[in-house]
């Protein structure tokens, strides 16, 4: 019997993998992909709760999260292209203009 707990544990695992990716990778493209993983894990939780409570609101919020994820990915990749044009790198460690 698959309960909501299964979905929540899976969501937690995916979110943790995404967190590790965001924190450890140096390639900005992969960092953006890891953020997508985290957002997907959040969606999984929302859908599981929507199913458990037999309400649709969770799925509505998942739709909103997907919209925000699209906006985030497009702006992030736009920034990445601008960054690559200026600094010729996709390494997050080399973006240190605001560091002193």
Partner 1 sequence: MLDAAFFYAFALLAVTGAVLTVTRRNAVHSAIWLIVSLLGVAGLFLLAQAEFLFAVQIVLYVGGIMVLFLFVIMLVNLDRAMKESQFSKQWPVALAVAALAGFGLTAVFRKAGAVLPPMASPAEQGNTQWLAQVLFRQYLLPFELASVVLLVAMVGAVLMARKKEGARS
Question: Quick check: 47 and 59 in contact, CB under 8 A?
Answer: yes
Ramachandran sector of residue 27 (left: φ over 0; alpha: ψ -120 to 50; beta: rest)? beta
Question: Quick check: 91 and 27 in contact, CB under 8 A?
Answer: yes
Binding of partner 1 at residue 50 (CB under 8 A)? yes
Q: Among 54, 96, 97, 98, indicate the residue that binds partner 1 (CB under 8 A).
A: 54
How many residues make up the chain in this entry? 100
* Cβ closest to partner 1, residue 93 vs residue 100: 93
Binding residues for partner 1 restricted to 57-96, rule: CB under 8 A: 57, 59-60, 62-64, 66-75, 77-82, 84-85, 88-93
| Smallest separation (angstroms) from partner 1 to the CB of 97 | 16
């Amino acid at each position: 019997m698959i309960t909501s707990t299964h979905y929540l544990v899976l969501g937690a695992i995916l979110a943790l993998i995404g967190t590790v990716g965001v924190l450890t990778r140096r390639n900005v493209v992969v960092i953006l992909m890891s953020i997508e993983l985290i957002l997907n894990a959040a969606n999984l939780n929302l859908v599981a709760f929507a199913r458990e409570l037999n309400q649709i609101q969770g799925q509505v919020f998942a739709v909103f999260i997907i919209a925000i994820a699209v906006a985030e990915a497009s702006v992030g990749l736009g920034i990445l292209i601008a960054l690559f044009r200026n600094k010729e790198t996709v390494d997050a460690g080399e973006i240190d203009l605001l560091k002193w």
